[in-house]
Structure 1
Amino acid sequence: MKQLLTYISLYTLLLSIVSCKKYLNENPDNRAEINTMDQVAKLLVTAYPDRTYLFNETAADNSEDRTTIASKEGQPFTDLYFWRDPEGTGDCTPAEYWLSCYKAIASANHALDAIEKNNFGDKVLPYKGEALIARAYVHHMLVMHFADPYVPGGANAGLGIPYVDKPETVVFQPYDRGTVQSVYDRIEQDLTDGMKLLKPGSWDVPKFHFNPQAAHAFAARFYLFKGDWDKVIEQVSAILPENNFYDNLHQYGGNLWSLSSDEIVAENTKAERPFNLLLANTQSIYQRKEGAGGNRYGFGEKVKNESTGTTVFGLPFRINLRNYGEPNYTPGKYLEYFYYTNVAQGTGLPYIMMPLFTVDEALMNRAEAYIQKANYPLAIADLNELARARIHDYNPVNNGLTIAKAKTFTGKTDDKQALLAALLDTKKRAFILEGIRWMDILRNNLTVKHNQIDDHGTETFTELPPGDPRRVFQLPKDVTTSGVPLNPR
């Protein structure tokens, strides 16, 4: 808690340096000078988005119509569920996340500019590496949510997002969105340049920074999007060279089994836990009842039954389900800290420590790469490691995955397609409310189906197929003042 409040205080203190209320429009003359290495290090605390991308959970197939009888209906969740563009930049909107991303990029650029202008010596190089990788990561999250999906081997000539690599020098500076390919090229350049500079032990609390393990995890996800399977395997394997992944996973079926629901929520976001590779301090109400937790369109009975049902391994995963009154559920994943801005009036801001990268996700990324390379024994071994961690009393004979089991469970007759479908189903259950399902939907061209129940109880369905422009979230309208075109609708 003390560490969290320290970071929030640093964020508040440094906000004036890089504040960006309207898409990087703060007058540069208002920014403070950064002329010591310690200031660079503190500034980089704000090089990570301070809002979450959990809005994509409502747009994905982790949400359903819980009806107005049981739940309230409100914005932006209704718009997100029906793949409409929410108005404004309020809580849980894509536009809010867009703004927080460019604010984080501004911090990284300001730090890099200070490093360039000052003779800090070699000791500053890990911070330079962190700034480059943070800039790459944030741009990747932006291009993932706000531009056409990357197609491995494709032209990727659609509109990208502005790749900002220098501090602003004028207000309303014009920007070019470039193409998806050009954005990916620049992300890869920043990523590879930054990784050469990192070294362990450069930060007091490494889990809040792009330490080497977190950088490998990001690189693995990035190359998964690019379809470079060998690099995915290489990067994931570098996280834990001894390949002791089980010891570093969320062991819901193991050492976390005896904990209560509240205790698991607390453990999920601890920097001390080995499964967390990178944590971000984010302001969010998404997990609250007044957020998505009690909204009409959210995690309801159908999604709950699917998530807690039998897996391809023959037994269910343990899900830390929280209940706001049936059918209003939410997976208990985030411990909230309320930061009081006025104790007397009881006002403040809700924060969650958001795990941006975990060992669990990295291992599943390697499993997917092995499947794509038709190395099925190693893919199955990785999937079984996750199952062993998630299933209480896991038995390798009875619960171990085989290709035959994958075919029976998924209905697929092709070995690769059956294992890939089993992997995606496993990830959907394991990573619900972590924003990862939307990434899988984009990369695998999955159609999203949402139900709607009218006042008479009649249920209808709508679909969001691959290629639909609504799969790309809309930019804030204010970006047009910098010459940035909105996404087509």
Structure 2
Amino acid sequence: MKKKFIYFSVVLLAANTSCKKYLEHLPDNRTELNSPEKVSQLLGTAYPQANYMDFCESLSDNVADKGVGEQDISNANAYMYKDVTDNQQDSPEYYWNACYAAIAAANHALEACNTAENPADYQAQKGEALVARAYAHFMLVTLFSKVYDPATASSDPGIPYVTEPEKVVIKHYERKTVAYVYEMIEKDLQEGLPLLVDQKYAAPRYHFTKAAANAFAARFYLYKKEYTKVVEYASQVFTTSNITTLLRPWNTTYLTYTYREMWAEYAKASQPANLLLGETPSWWGRYYYSVRYGMTSAIRDEIFGSNVTGGTWAFRNHIYTAGTNNYMIPKINEYFVRNSVNASIGVGYIMVPLFTVEEVLFNKAEANNALNNTNDALTDINSYASTRIVGYNSATHRITETKIKNFYGISDLQEGILQTILDFKRAEYAQEGMRWFDILRHKIVITHSTTEGDVIELGENDLRRVLQIPESAELSGVDLNPR
């Protein structure tokens, strides 16, 4: 399954004349992208078909060494802050390759849109291709380059931003800079978002709808530290004044679910909170609670213990014990596809909520706080808390300036609100890998310990915060990250 190059063409070239007769017959009705419908079919593959949860969660402070458990290379290497040696699904290299495969599909779709005899008929497809291309590059630069910093982005190495279909076996690329990559992401996003037409999608939750694209824009501008734009784009997602109706009902409906029902419901397209879902081959759903480096009782209590509301997290009602020191929140459900009808082997798949309403609300709150709109930020986090605290009562559980300052023991309200948001996000996305992105953005220092007595600290400027670019990418002239 290892891909040798960072980028593959969708068009296959004939190796010799003996193949000519075979290649004269189109093996797929999408080979000639001569209709908007065929381009739309291709765009179904313009989203990274790979999972970041395993290695991102393992890098974070959401895990500890249990001493025993399932042995997973991505989990173990990431926990030790070593470059992951595996290249199979759930590894950084697999994710890198999947992102560039998605970019390849987007670029072929864009070529078809731009060269069509009637380009006006392809505008919706062009919009999706541009936003999908921007997203894949954004995830790559976030994981494989230094976090965006306005002071250093113009000199920090980025990742190759690919804008044309590759039609040679090996093509050389420049990394350029993080600033350049962000400029290109913004250009694609700004051009593509207005072109999107939700009605063109048969299954909207698996494509960049207007809401999902606005959620992406809110995340992008949060990372870019342009906070006014974060609020602007986040506000486009909330089509109702009552935001709580879009949030997951953890302290009401979810409380009545069994763990099997939770597994079935969490990543469903029918859940209003899920703005964009991605299908990914992954074993994380099988092992996320049983790997050696995972959630322990101490980590569980750290994340889901006391909180600023003074109430009890509804999440605690859905933390199940699956063996000694294995704690499972039933959000990540595997769908196993057999290689054939009677086969006992196959591939596990997971539906990943790539963008959710909760994240948009968090991003809006963080941006409001950064803009010193603390009252708006408090309104945002109280909306969230009202759906997460058991028996929520605004009279007793409402988050106030006094509560924040007392709970965190600080006098700076803005810092207290930020800590509240980060703590809430940590609880919301436990075992999903999202915590790692906040650790990167806020340069949170982490310490991992082992049962053998080793202590590994990840400082705020540690080079290991940046994932290593796959060695196979050197064939295309891409320099590896320093170590």
TM-score, normalised to structure 1's length?
A: 0.91
* Match in the other structure for 2:358: 360
Q: How far 1:344 moved relative to its partner?
A: 1.1
Contact 1:145 1:473 survives alignment (8 Å):
yes
Displacement of 1:187 after TM fit?
Answer: 0.3
User: How far off its partner does 1:218 sit?
Assistant: 0.2
Output the CA distance in 2 between the equivalents of 1:442 and 1:33.
Answer: 42
Aligned counterpart in structure 2 of residue 332 of structure 1, from 318, 330, 333: 330
**Among 184, 194, 198, the residue aligned to 2:196:** 198
Which residue of the other structure, out of 446, 452, 463, is the alignment partner of 2:457? Answer: 463
The percent identity for this pair of structures is 38
**TM-aligned CA distance change 1:26 to 1:213, over 3 Å:** closer
In the TM superposition, what is the alpha-carbon distance from 1:324 to its structure 2 partner?
Answer: 2.5
The aligned residue for residue 305 of structure 1 is: 301
5 Å matches for 1:175-254? 175-254=173-252
The one-character-per-residue Cα deviations of 1:402-449 (angstroms, maximum 9, x if unpaired) are 122112222322111111111111111111122221111111111112
Check whether the contact 1:88–1:476 (CA below 8 A) recurs between aligned residues. Answer: no
2:165 alignment partner in structure 1: 167
Contact 1:191 1:219 in 2 (8 A): yes
CA distance in structure 1 between the aligned counterparts of 2:386 and 2:455, rounded to whole angstroms: 36
**DSSP 3-state at the match of 2:256:** coil
Residue pair 1:20, 1:103 contacting (<8 A) in 2 also: no
Letter in 1 for 2:322: Y
C-alpha displacement at 1:295, in angstroms? 1.7
Aligned position for 1:4: none
Whichever residue aligns with residue 35 of structure 1, its letter is: N
Equivalent-residue separation in structure 2 for 1:278 and 1:322 (angstroms): 27
Native 8 Å contact 2:247 2:357 kept in 1: yes
The equivalences for 1:45-444 within 5 A come to 45-54=44-53, 55-68=55-68, 71-289=69-287, 292-319=288-315, 320-444=318-442
Structure 1 residue 243, shift from structure 2 partner: 2.9
State the one-letter code of the partner of 2:319: L
CA shift, 1:463, in A, is 1.4
What is the one-letter code of the residue matched to 2:304? T
Distance 1:156 1:464 in 2: 24
Kindly indicate whether the alpha-carbon contact (under 8 Å) linking 1:283 and 1:352 is maintained by their aligned counterparts in 2: yes
Report the secondary structure of 1:470's partner residue. helix
1:293 aligned partner, one-letter code? Y
1:223-260: per-residue Cα shift (whole Å, max 9, x none)?
00011111000111011143321000011002222111
Count of aligned pairs between the two proteins: 464
Q: Deviations over 1:117-154 (max 9, x none)?
A: 21244332111101000000110000000001101454
Amino acid at match of 2:60: A
Indicate which of 16, 22, 26 corresponds to 2:5. Answer: 22
SS at match of 1:151: coil
Distance change in 2, residues 1:141/1:206 (3 Å): same
Over aligned residue pairs, what C-alpha RMSD do you find? 1.8
Partners of 1:433 and 1:126 lie apart in 2 by 35
- Post-superposition CA distance 1:277-303 (Å, at most 9, x none): 0001111111313xx432211111121
C-alpha distance in 2, partners of 1:299/1:368?
A: 26
Structure 2 match to 1:488: 482
Alignment partner, residue 7 of structure 1: none
Check the 8 A contact 2:9/2:104 in 1, yes or no. no
CA contact (8 A) 2:9 2:167 kept: no
What amino acid maps onto 2:42 in structure 1?
L
2:51–2:89 contact (8 Å) kept in structure 1: no
Contact 1:279–1:353, Cα closer than 8 Å, also in 2: yes
How far 1:270 moved relative to its partner? Answer: 0.9
- Shift of residue 33 of structure 1? 2.8
What TM-score do the two structures reach when normalised by structure 2? Answer: 0.92
> Is 260-269 or 228-237 further displaced after alignment?
260-269
Cα separation, 2, equivalents of 1:306 and 1:274? 29
Partner AA of 2:211 in structure 1: Q
Alpha-carbon contact 1:50-1:281 (below 8 Å) kept: yes
- Whether the 8 Å CA contact 2:303–2:423 is kept in 1: the answer is no
The runs of 5 or more residues in structure 1 that have no matched partner are 1-14
**Cα distance in 2, alignment partners of residues 72 and 334 from structure 1:** 17
- Preserved CA contact (<8 Å) 2:33 2:39: yes
Q: Is the 8 A contact 1:28 1:170 kept in 2?
A: no
Partner of 2:17: none
- Whichever residue aligns with residue 53 of structure 1, its letter is Y
Q: For 1:23, give the aligned amino acid.
A: I
How far the C-alpha of 1:72 sits from its partner, in A, is 4.1
Amino acid at match of 2:427: R
Secondary structure in 1 aligned to 2:254? coil
